[in-house]
């Protein structure tokens, strides 16, 4: 290895097709084809973004809605692939982009723990070993054999967080997932995240609450309309960010 | 080479997901049904009884062991229909998940085809009952059955992968395929005898209808107590290899743009 970056995003550009009407059936496709209206209106969700993260660093990603924060996280997780540029991430990733994304409402919580674990790439035996710890952390012993569709969104999120963080990943990716739980659980999650940071996990954190970003992270990246505005030390970036929007309001 | 190695490694990592998705399909299918897995046996038996009534007594087809004849065709066609229909929506149906985590996408298609295949194995129980009732001799040729089913499985997997990929871009393929399946059903001697139809059509079926390759082999080993013919076996193997090759090629080529359309 030439350097010690765990995440390296180089000049990444992500392109979406934002044609005025989305064509998803053959009939329209052929009509447009004949009328020669089949255009590809491109939309660049990210343009030339660079990010280099060393092991153990905690990066907050800030910006207004639609600035490309989630796109960047998805890019790093491997859900999206870059149109230009390159992305590399070394190590296991625990993506908390939406908690419980792999849950099946018809299955019980017990069954979903195994299924969700499998979605994250853990074996059944591994999940059996950690089963108690997961339920303990989520505090859901009484509801284990209830179908998830009867869970409240907060309860499902607790279970999701608990599964995704049961093993210490090398890279933890968090996208505003903590906002659903109650205050006690939010604190619990923050504590767990801090424990992980102390033991060397790298964190990427997206939140609109600048306060919690400042509290948890040591670096920040500020995105605006898919472009990088500023990146570096947490306080320099967030102060500038707050400054911009506070003065705008006045 | 490296790419293939990585794919295999990735599959091993996610093999438990594959197994659990199959288990989930089976569990959910029978959850809250009183007779549970027994339906997989009862359902084909009931349909077969109706077919026998209609075609043997009303249309008066004279085929020896007609119940076995009908049921073997029906079992194959049902598998094809269930596996490909489920595979077709396997990517679009898991859109929420695919947008939020990285999972090899073909796992969903593979697991749908596999759970349909398990259903097929259950329905073989119905076939066994009918074989015993009709007093068809049980022979060693029946040991060929796994080889026949394996060809059908890979054929369906290939078609399923292709449909799953195409369905992401064109949702109306579902309606087109529905109509196509009906035509396919009538173009295959599932419940009528082959010699009832004009010779030119017979030629087309025998040479161009892959489903016939499998139904034909199936009946050879289960009903007619013989080895599958060389030609039909070769045709079956070729059709499943071709379907699998084309299906995976289409899927692999399209898979990175799925995320933009689901």
Beta-bridge partner residues of A231: A221
Is residue B219 pLDDT above 80, yes or no? yes
Task: Give yes or no for a contact between A226 and A47, defined as CB atoms under 8 angstroms apart.
Answer: yes
The closest CB to that of B97, out of A16, A119, A124, belongs to A119
Is residue B231 pLDDT above 90, yes or no? yes
Using a CB–CB cutoff of 8 Å, tell me whether A75 touches chain B: no
Interchain pair A106, B28: CB under 8 A? yes
Distance CA B210, CA B236 (A): 7
At B120, the pLDDT band (50, 70, 90 cuts) reads: very high
Q: Which residue has the tokens 């569990």?
A: B27
Using a CB–CB cutoff of 8 Å, tell me whether A107 touches chain B: yes
Q: In angstroms, what separates the C-alpha of B88 from chain A's closest C-alpha?
A: 14
Tell me which of B36 and B108 has the higher pLDDT: B108
Average pLDDT score, chain B: 91
Tell me which of A116 and B62 has the higher pLDDT: A116
Using a CB–CB cutoff of 8 Å, tell me whether A39 touches chain B: no
Distance CA B137, CA B225 (A): 8
Using a CB–CB cutoff of 8 Å, tell me whether A21 touches chain B: no
Please write the tens of the pLDDT for every residue from B141-154.
999 999 999 999 99
ipTM: 0.78
Count: domains in chain A: 1
Q: What CATH number has the domain bearing residue A133? A: 1.10.8
Q: In angstroms, what separates the C-alpha of A150 from chain B's closest C-alpha?
A: 16
Interchain pair B102, A97: CB under 8 A? no
Is residue A40 pLDDT above 80, yes or no? no
Task: With beta carbons under 8 A apart, name residues in chain A contacting B19.
Answer: 118, 124
Domain ranges, residue B122? 2-261
Tell me which of B244 and B24 has the higher pLDDT: B244
A145 belongs to a structural domain: yes
Using a CB–CB cutoff of 8 Å, tell me whether A153 touches chain B: no
Is residue B32 pLDDT above 80, yes or no? no
Helix (H, G, I), strand (E, B) or coil at A224: strand
Give residue A153's pLDDT: 80
How large is the average pLDDT for residues B220-240?
94
Domain ranges, residue A161? 99-168
Give residue B96's pLDDT: 81
Helix (H), strand (E) at residue A87: strand A84-89
How large is the average pLDDT for residues B110-119?
96
The strand pair at A219-224 and A227-233 is best described as: antiparallel
Give residue A39's pLDDT: 59
**Closest-CA residue of chain A to B171:** A25
Beta-carbon contacts of A192 under 8 Å, excluding residues fewer than 6 positions away, are A137, A165
**Closest-CA residue of chain A to B260:** A16
Query: By 3-state DSSP, what share of chain B in percent is helix, strand and coil, each rounded to 5?
Result: 80, 0, 20
Give residue A1's pLDDT: 43
Using a CB–CB cutoff of 8 Å, tell me whether A87 touches chain B: no
Task: With beta carbons under 8 A apart, name residues in chain B contacting A45.
Answer: none
The percentage of residues in chain B with a pLDDT greater than 70, rounded to a whole number, is 100
How large is the average pLDDT for residues A234-241?
88
* Token pair recorded at residue B28: 């959910």
Using a CB–CB cutoff of 8 Å, tell me whether A80 touches chain B: yes
* Token pair recorded at residue A43: 């939309």
Q: What is the DSSP track for A119-164? A: HTT--HHHHHHHHHHHHHHHT-GGGTTSBGGGS-HHHHHHHHHHHH
Give residue B190's pLDDT: 93
Task: With beta carbons under 8 A apart, name residues in chain B contacting A74.
Answer: 99
A62 belongs to a structural domain: no
Count: domains in chain B: 1
At A19, the pLDDT band (50, 70, 90 cuts) reads: low
A179 belongs to a structural domain: no
Please write the tens of the pLDDT for every residue from A99-148.
766 788 888 999 999 988 888 888 889 999 999 999 998 888 888 899 98
Give residue B100's pLDDT: 81
Task: With beta carbons under 8 A apart, name residues in chain B contacting A17.
Answer: 260
Task: With beta carbons under 8 A apart, name residues in chain A contacting B24.
Answer: 104, 107, 111, 115
The percentage of residues in chain A with a pLDDT greater than 70, rounded to a whole number, is 88
Neighbours of B137 (CB within 10 A): 8
Please write the tens of the pLDDT for every residue from A194-217.
888 888 889 898 888 888 888 888
Is residue A226 pLDDT above 90, yes or no? no
How large is the average pLDDT for residues B219-232?
93
Q: How far is CA A112 from CA A3, A147, B10, B105, B225, in A?
A: 39, 9, 22, 19, 46
The closest CB to that of B170, out of A25, A77, A97, belongs to A25
Chain pair A-B, CB pairs under 8 angstroms: 76
- List the one residue out of A91, A46, A102 whose CA is nearest residue A73: A46
- Low-confidence winner among A32-41, B147-156, B253-262 (lowest mean pLDDT): A32-41
Task: With beta carbons under 8 A apart, name residues in chain A contacting B16.
Answer: 118, 122-124
A153 belongs to a structural domain: yes
Task: Pick from A75-89, A107-121, A185-199, B135-149 the range whose average pLDDT is largest.
Answer: B135-149
Please write the tens of the pLDDT for every residue from A167-178.
778 888 888 766
The closest CB to that of B102, out of A29, A79, A114, belongs to A79
A161 belongs to a structural domain: yes
The closest CB to that of B169, out of A24, A80, A102, belongs to A24
Task: With beta carbons under 8 A apart, name residues in chain A contacting B13.
Answer: 121
Mutate to test the interface with A, among B22, B101, B255, B257 (most CBs of A within 10 A): B101
Interchain pair B19, A121: CB under 8 A? no
């Amino acid at each position: 290895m030439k350097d010690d970056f765990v995440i390296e995003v180089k000049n990444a550009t992500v392109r979406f097709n934002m044609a005025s009407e989305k064509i998803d059936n053959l009939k329209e496709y052929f009509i447009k084809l004949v009328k020669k209206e089949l255009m590809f209106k491109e939309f660049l969700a990210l343009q030339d973004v660079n990010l280099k993260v060393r092991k153990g660093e905690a990066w907050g990603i800030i910006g207004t809605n639609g600035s490309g924060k989630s796109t960047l996280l998805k890019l790093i997780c491997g859900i999206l692939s870059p149109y230009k540029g390159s992305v590399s991430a070394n190590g296991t990733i625990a993506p908390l982009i939406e908690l419980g994304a792999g849950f099946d409402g018809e299955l019980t919580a017990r069954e979903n723990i195994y299924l969700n674990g499998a979605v994250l790439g853990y074996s059944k035996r591994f999940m059996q070993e950690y089963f108690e710890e997961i339920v303990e952390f989520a505090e859901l012993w009484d509801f284990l054999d209830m179908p998830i569709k009867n869970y409240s969104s907060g309860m499902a999120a607790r279970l999701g967080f608990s599964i995704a963080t049961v093993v210490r990943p090398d890279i933890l990716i968090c996208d505003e997932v903590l906002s659903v739980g109650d205050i006690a659980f939010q604190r619990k999650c923050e504590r767990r995240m801090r424990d992980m940071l102390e033991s060397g996990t790298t964190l990427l954190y997206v939140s609109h609450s600048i306060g919690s970003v400042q509290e948890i992270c040591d670096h920040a990246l500020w995105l605006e309309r898919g472009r990088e505005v500023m990146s570096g030390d947490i306080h320099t970036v967030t102060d500038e960010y707050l400054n911009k929007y506070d003065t705008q309001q006045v | 080479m490296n790419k293939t190695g990585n794919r295999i490694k990735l599959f091993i990592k996610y093999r438990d997901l594959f197994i659990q998705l199959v288990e989930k399909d089976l569990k959910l299918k029978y959850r809250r049904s009183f007779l549970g897995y027994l339906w997989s046996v009862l359902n084909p038996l009931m349909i077969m009884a109706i077919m026998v009534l209609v075609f043997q007594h009303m249309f008066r087809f004279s085929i020896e062991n007609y119940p076995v004849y009908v049921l073997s065709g029906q079992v194959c066609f049902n598998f094809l229909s269930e596996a490909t229909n489920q595979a077709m929506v396997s990517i679009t149906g898991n859109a929420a998940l695919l947008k939020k985590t990285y999972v090899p996408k073909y796992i969903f298609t593979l697991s749908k085809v596999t759970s349909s295949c398990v259903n097929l194995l259950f329905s073989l129980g119905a076939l066994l009952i009918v074989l015993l009732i009709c007093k068809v001799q049980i022979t060693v040729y029946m040991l060929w059955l796994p080889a026949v089913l394996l060809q059908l499985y890979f054929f369906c997997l290939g078609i399923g992968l292709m449909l799953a990929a195409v369905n992401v871009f064109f949702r109306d393929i579902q309606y087109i395929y529905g109509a196509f399946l009906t035509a396919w059903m009538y173009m295959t001697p599932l419940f009528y005898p082959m010699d009832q139809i004009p010779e030119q059509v017979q030629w087309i079926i025998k040479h161009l209808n892959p489903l016939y390759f499998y139904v034909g082999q199936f009946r050879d080993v289960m009903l007619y107590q013989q080895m599958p013919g060389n030609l039909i076996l070769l045709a079956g193997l070729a059709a499943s290899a071709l379907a699998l090759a084309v299906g995976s090629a289409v899927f692999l080529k399209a898979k990175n743009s799925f995320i933009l359309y689901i």
